Structure 1
Amino acid sequence: MKMKKYIVNDIKEALEQIKKDLGEDAIILSTRSVKKGGFLGIGAKRYLEVTAVCEDKEQEKTESSEVYKLQELLVKNREKRQEEEIRELKQMLQEMKQMLGMQRLSDLPQNLQRILKGLQAQEVDQTIAGKIVEYLRISYGDVSLDDSLRRSLAEHLLAFVKTEVPALEGTVLFSGPTGVGKTTTLAKLAARLKIVEKKQLAILTLDTYRIAATDQLKTYATIMDIPMRVAYTPKEAKMELDAMKSFDVVLIDTAGRSQNNDMQMSELKALFEVIQPNLAFLVISMNSRFSDLKDVLERFQVARHTHLILTKMDETRTFGHLINAPLIGGIPVAFITNGQRVPEDIVEANAKDIAHLLSREVLRIAQSS
């Protein structure tokens, strides 16, 4: 197999040289545009680089092998070009989308521009923010940044808020990333069930990775006079749950897991399939970055959670995740925690309260911009 590259002005010139050098049976392997000449890239002229191949009659014994390799190389080269074209197309579409977004922003009345910036500052999903501003534009044209707008904005936000507070019965599983406050949240709900609702409950923990977490939960359980057991495997957890059937509620604590660890995600999936809880809470921190929040919600779907609990609301002034999390995860927010105190710092998620909180913060940002 003979291979040769040509630097030519156009494809016609390339074909003439290839035919002369390699014969009529030659095959063009690839073409690409190159620049040559000039000084430091200035004044360089664009040429066409053509790579061609042909059979070598002296290697007839390896003909079939070489043809196969050539076909394989051609396929790979074509796939590579297609991938590059797709990447370029995606980049072009993204740039066009950004340009159109900037154009729409500049076309908006000044106060609506401020509202949109407020929604963006609160990290409300870009699609939702755009829809809300468009609704306001259609309904009012321009707006005044006053209390009447706050109420109207809250009404529009309410359509995107998804909440549901379930009855805590049977087996209730808590899982989520490391450090989001699962154990403290579980203790808050345990106190609510024990003291307020007078439920007969027990606690089962599988968080055996951290001794401190088990000790913390034991302390809470002792103070509230709640039975607590420890399991080290899904099989042990199932046996413990079978022994706890007489309780109204069993709260199940799990170890924090990284959404980027495939093994840990597989372990969580296996645990869920063995336990089959009545409720499964995914616990997420409100101060997560939007990209991390999205990643967690997508990867933790292996456990088929029924509800969200958003924690550490007291540690942020950005509340867009109250809308973003249920939108991306496809499950409602049940509870929100806003401090470390047990059992005080936990509230039931209320859609109207969330909408009014976000509208107030958006308007505050808009008024100060």
Structure 2
Amino acid sequence: MRTKTYVFEDIKKGMELIKEKYGPDALIVDIRSLGNNGNKRCEISVLVQDDMLEVASSGETYRRQIEEVWESVQSAISERIFEVEKYLYIKRIESYPLSLRTLFDKMRKNGVDLKLSFDLVSQAFVEAGDLIDSMTKAYYFLKNVIKKRMKFYEIKKDTSPIILFGPEDTGKSLTSRKIVHLLRNSGISSWVIHFSQTPKTTSIDFSRSVIGETYGIFITQCEEDLRKKMSLAGDRKVIIDVSFPEHDQIENLVSKLFSNSERIL
């Protein structure tokens, strides 16, 4: 089964032509208005059977066709619902202050989920109201909203590794050094291991020099070398900074190497 889409001058005429072509039981999956300023043009999508597919008498084939129909309908409805939700979010955000609209656009451009982006900005607006009249205030209230949603974990409790993973240039390396500084101030020995597929340029090769041993900062691109360094860490708390081009690669690596580690996203 597949979906075919037609454009008509008006809905009534379009429905008549659809029924005439596909019969009174034609399955309409979507109707969209294309008109404005009095124009009644519309787009109608109907579920049809492929020309090459013959109706078989076997129960298995018949059941498969029914499932294909439901899957096609469900897919079309889900897509339509998403488009409606997206439209509503965009319309609602238009009434927000410019500072919050700017933050919303930034989050969307950086891949943050549409609903999550709106929820964060909306909560910030609820808490601050008309006080959000500048980017500085918008950032402040948005950070407070995010803080309330974050889960806190006492990193000093055990010796399991901490993993920071995500795209490059998002602040993971700086965060890892801050964590190390916090741990060492509490008397906890720790190492930082930077693991990335992209070669890092640095004036000192920490992974091959005494500097790495002295300061506990290592750089590697090899899984075997990463395992080796983790085994040499002993009782030290290990913070692993993982950077990969694709999010799926990061998830696979984390699941494979660090099943019982604490993650910081």
1:268 aligns to what SS in structure 2?
helix
Is the Cα–Cα contact under 8 Å of residues 191 and 224 in structure 1 kept in the other structure?
Answer: no
Is the Cα–Cα contact under 8 Å of residues 123 and 145 in structure 2 kept in the other structure?
Answer: no
Alignment-derived partner of residue 120 in structure 2 = 128
Alignment-derived partner of residue 224 in structure 2 = 232
Give the 3 Å change call, closer, same or farther, for CA 200–216 of structure 1 in structure 2: farther
Alpha carbon RMSD of aligned pairs, Å? 5.3
**Which of the pair has the greater relative contact order for Cα pairs under 8 Å at 6+ separation?**
1
Q: TM-score, normalised by structure 1?
A: 0.40
Is the Cα–Cα contact under 8 Å of residues 206 and 212 in structure 2 kept in the other structure?
Answer: no
Give the 3 Å change call, closer, same or farther, for CA 73–201 of structure 1 in structure 2: same
Is the Cα–Cα contact under 8 Å of residues 125 and 132 in structure 2 kept in the other structure?
Answer: no
Give the 3 Å change call, closer, same or farther, for CA 114–73 of structure 1 in structure 2: same
Q: 1:101 and 1:173 mapped to 2: Cα distance?
A: 36
Alignment-derived partner of residue 91 in structure 1 = 79
Amino acid at match of 1:203: W
Is the Cα–Cα contact under 8 Å of residues 176 and 192 in structure 2 kept in the other structure?
Answer: no
Q: Aligned pair 1:256/2:234, yes or no?
A: no
Alignment-derived partner of residue 147 in structure 2 = 161
Q: 1:121 and 1:191 mapped to 2: Cα distance?
A: 34
Alignment-derived partner of residue 269 in structure 1 = 255
Identity of aligned residues (%): 10
Deviation at 1:127, TM superposition (A): 2.1
Amino acid at match of 1:158: N
Amino acid at match of 1:127: D
1:199 aligns to what SS in structure 2?
coil
Unmatched 5+ residue regions in structure 1?
Answer: 1-6, 16-29, 34-48, 55-65, 138-142, 281-304, 309-369
Q: 2:139 and 2:177 mapped to 1: Cα distance?
A: 36
Amino acid at match of 1:272: F
Deviation at 1:120, TM superposition (A): 1.9
Amino acid at match of 1:174: I
2:162 to 169, 173, 178: 173
Q: 1:122 and 1:73 mapped to 2: Cα distance?
A: 49
Task: Please identify, of 199-208 and 72-81, the stretch whose mean Cα deviation from structure 2 is larger.
Answer: 199-208
Amino acid at match of 1:176: F
Deviation at 1:217, TM superposition (A): 3.0
Deviation at 1:212, TM superposition (A): 5.7
Q: Aligned pair 1:114/2:101, yes or no?
A: no
Deviation at 1:119, TM superposition (A): 3.8
Aligned residue runs from structure 1 range 47-126, under 5 A: 67-68=57-58, 71-101=59-89, 104=92, 108=95, 112-123=96-107, 125-126=117-118
Deviation at 1:82, TM superposition (A): 1.8
Is the Cα–Cα contact under 8 Å of residues 161 and 239 in structure 2 kept in the other structure?
Answer: yes
Is the Cα–Cα contact under 8 Å of residues 191 and 237 in structure 2 kept in the other structure?
Answer: yes
Unmatched 5+ residue regions in structure 2?
Answer: 1-17, 29-47, 108-115
Q: TM-score, normalised by structure 2?
A: 0.51
Structure number with bigger Rg: 1
Is the Cα–Cα contact under 8 Å of residues 120 and 129 in structure 1 kept in the other structure?
Answer: yes
Amino acid at match of 1:89: I
Give the 3 Å change call, closer, same or farther, for CA 80–167 of structure 1 in structure 2: closer
Aligned length: 211
Q: 2:104 and 2:74 mapped to 1: Cα distance?
A: 29
Deviation at 1:160, TM superposition (A): 3.8
Aligned residue runs from structure 1 range 1-369, under 5 A: 9=20, 67-68=57-58, 71-101=59-89, 104=92, 108=95, 112-123=96-107, 125-133=117-125, 143=130, 154=140, 158-162=144-148, 164=152, 166-168=154-156, 170-177=159-166, 179-180=168-169, 182=172, 186-187=176-177, 189-190=179-180, 197=185, 199=187, 201-203=189-191, 205=193, 207=195, 216-218=205-207, 222=211, 225-226=214-215, 232=224, 236=228, 239-241=231-233, 244-245=234-235, 249-253=236-240, 256-257=243-244, 258-261=246-249, 265-273=251-259, 276-277=260-261, 280=262, 305=263, 307-308=264-265
Is the Cα–Cα contact under 8 Å of residues 203 and 227 in structure 1 kept in the other structure?
Answer: yes
